[in-house]
Amino acid sequence: MYRYVFGPVPSRRLGKSLGVNVVPLKYCNFNCIYCQLGRTRHVINDLRMFYPPEDIIKEMEVVVRARNYDYLTFIGDGEPTLYAGLGKLIQWARNNQDRPLAILTNGAKLIDEEVRSWLSELDVVKVSTDAGSERTFRLINRPHREITFDRFIEGIERFREVFSGQIWTEVMLVKGINDNEEEMERIGEALRRYRPDRVYMMVPTRPPAEPWVKPPTSDVLVGLAKVLSRYVNSDRIFIIDYVERGEFHIDKNDPVNSLLGILKVQPMTVEQVMDVIRRNNLDMEILDRIRSLTKEVVFNGITYLVYSSE
Torsion-angle region of residue 38: left (phi > 0), alpha (psi -120 to 50) or beta?
Answer: left
**Does position 30 bind ligand SF4 by CB under 6 A?**
yes
Kindly state the smallest distance separating residue 104's Cβ from ligand SF4, in Å: 8
**Does position 40 bind ligand SF4 by CB under 6 A?**
yes
Kindly state the smallest distance separating residue 255's Cβ from ligand SF4, in Å: 26
Kindly state the smallest distance separating residue 105's Cβ from ligand SF4, in Å: 8
Kindly state the smallest distance separating residue 130's Cβ from ligand SF4, in Å: 9
Number of residues interacting with ligand SF4: please give it, by CB under 6 A: 10
Kindly state the smallest distance separating residue 184's Cβ from ligand SF4, in Å: 20
Strands (E), 137-261: 166-172, 198-202, 237-240
Pick the binder of ligand SF4 from 5, 14, 18, 35 (CB under 6 A).
Answer: 35
Using the minimum distance from each CB to ligand SF4, give the nearer residue, 79 or 251. 79
**Does position 79 bind ligand SF4 by CB under 6 A?**
yes
C-alpha angle 269/40/186, rounded to 5°? 90
**Does position 31 bind ligand SF4 by CB under 6 A?**
yes
- Angle between helix 285-293 and 270-279 (nearest 10): 140
Cβ pair 251, 258 in contact under 8 A: yes
| Region 85-124 residues binding ligand SF4, contact defined as CB under 6 A | 106
**Helical residues (DSSP H) of 24-148, grouped into ranges:** 53-66, 86-96, 113-119, 134-140
Contacts of 98 (CB under 8 A, 6+ apart): none
Kindly state the smallest distance separating residue 31's Cβ from ligand SF4, in Å: 5
Distance in angstroms (rounded) separating the CA atoms of residues 3 and 227: 43
Amino acid at 118: W
Using the minimum distance from each CB to ligand SF4, give the nearer residue, 33 or 277. 33
Using the minimum distance from each CB to ligand SF4, give the nearer residue, 11 or 64. 11
Distance in angstroms (rounded) separating the CA atoms of residues 276 and 278: 6
